[in-house]
Chain A
Amino acid sequence: MTCHELDERLDDWVAGALAGAEARQIESHLAGCAACRERERQLRRLLAHAAALPRSVTPPRDLWPGIAERIERGSAWSAFLASWQPLALAAAAAVVIGVAALLWNGSGPTAVRTVAMPSASPTLRSVTDTGVADPVLAAAARDYEQAAGALLEALQRRRAVLPAEDLARVEANLEVIDRALEEVRQALVKDPASPELNRMLVATHRKKVDVLRRVVRLSTAL
């Protein structure tokens, strides 16, 4: 056995994992090689030293106040998430009911069934940009869309630190609001001059921005 071969087996040797002919070879080599005996001694001392290190170490300062503060901030986040589900659904339901009522008054029940399809349509958005006829309201809708975009980017940067289940809930709720926005946009295609629908679109944008702002603020504190 060479010194290199012994070095390769030294871990198993000191762990007592070798037996028989291999163990005898190592014993024989160690008996005649002072350098390998020294290596074996060093390894045994290292392992004894490592095993004697204290597993428990007192932190240099009290870490609890920082932990408690983060937990309390996290509780605010959890409470917000818990309250958000009904909030978003209620907002979306109000929009759908409002859209349905407006269309019932205007075009009859066939139109209600048409706007009930929630799928997003980029084509519709490109026709009217914001989808709002009133220039003041259209400018407000654009501002809200830009703000929502910036907040979504901020939220994207927080993805790594947000618990996966919280993130899934945030995204599911945003989807609810986006579907409500799409309902109003589709209704506006049928009745672009409706002041109620114009206001409803801007109000739903505002709701989305408000919610996103709270999500980003609370998640940043986590």
Chain B
Amino acid sequence: MEGLAGVASGDARVPMSEDHDRRAAEMRLVRAAQQGDLLAFERLYRDNERKVFGLCFRLSGGPALAEELTQEVFVRAWRKLSSFRGESAFSSWLYPLTVNVALSERRSRRRRDARIVATEDPARLERTPRAPAPEAGFDLEKAIAALPPGARAVFVLHDVEGRTHEEIAAMLKLATGTSKAQLFRARRLLRQALVS
């Protein structure tokens, strides 16, 4: 997808003691930020920006909106920071907030911009005039971006992010069965795009 400067993994496993030290250092930053220390919050931002941007990018379907959403996530995180007690990693606390911001913004934009209604059309992917290239050069990012929003959200959270249907249902306020149905729909549309 155009406009991306690069990627970083950030998913590597680390030894338990190192992880403990990192969590302790993170909690010190959180406490400082809770006292109003913006520099500490910037460190938390730097540690998490790529994961948040990656998720916003795929849930929103484009880099420009993902920039706005990422900023919104961290502004809201700052406002809600007093509610973070450190029971989980800061990134885990940010995750549902990111999903919520990305999807609620999508809903409000849909209300504001009639053109976005077109992306809700489930048949859009099948009849797109610029179909993705054949499998060898298949651009999965573009195909994901072209999915209907509901199917895209579930596909990204389940098949890219590795979340369970139960977690997705809780975050998106759906029935588990609806999450499964949306995943089935997304995969079918992507398979069709794959062979077109």
Asked if A61 contacts B67 (CB within 8 A), the reply is yes
Asked if B194 contacts A42 (CB within 8 A), the reply is yes
Interface residue stretch chosen among A66-74, A138-146, A150-158, A205-213 = A66-74
Asked if B70 contacts A50 (CB within 8 A), the reply is no
Q: Could you say which interface size class chain B belongs to?
A: 35 or more
Contact of B53 among A46, A47, A53, A58 (CB under 8 A): A58
Asked if B54 contacts A51 (CB within 8 A), the reply is no
Q: Which residues of A contact B79 (CB under 8 A)?
A: 74, 163
Distance of A184 from chain B, by nearest CB (Å) = 37
Q: Identify the 6 closest CB pairs spanning chains A and B, nearest first.
A: A57-B54, A56-B50, A54-B7, A50-B159, A56-B10, A59-B53
Distance of A61 from chain B, by nearest CB (Å) = 7
Binding site for B on A (CB under 8 A): 11, 39, 42-43, 45-47, 49-51, 53-61, 63-64, 66-68, 70-72, 74, 160, 163
Binding site for A on B (CB under 8 A): 3-11, 38, 41-42, 45-46, 49-51, 53-55, 57, 63, 66-67, 70-71, 74-75, 78-79, 108, 135, 138, 140-141, 155, 159-162, 180, 183-184, 187, 190-191, 194-195
Q: What are 12 sample pairs from A and B whose C-beta atoms fall under 8 A apart? A: A42-B135, A46-B194, A55-B11, A55-B54, A56-B11, A58-B5, A64-B42, A64-B46, A66-B71, A70-B75, A74-B78, A163-B79
- What does DSSP make chain A's interface, helix, strand, loop or mixed? helix
Asked if B187 contacts A46 (CB within 8 A), the reply is yes
- Per the bound structure, the CA–CA distance linking A53 and B141 in Å amounts to 9
* Nearest B residue to A72, CB-CB: B38
Asked if A58 contacts B38 (CB within 8 A), the reply is no
Q: Which residues of B contact A43 (CB under 8 A)?
A: 187, 191
- Per the bound structure, the CA–CA distance linking A66 and B142 in Å amounts to 27
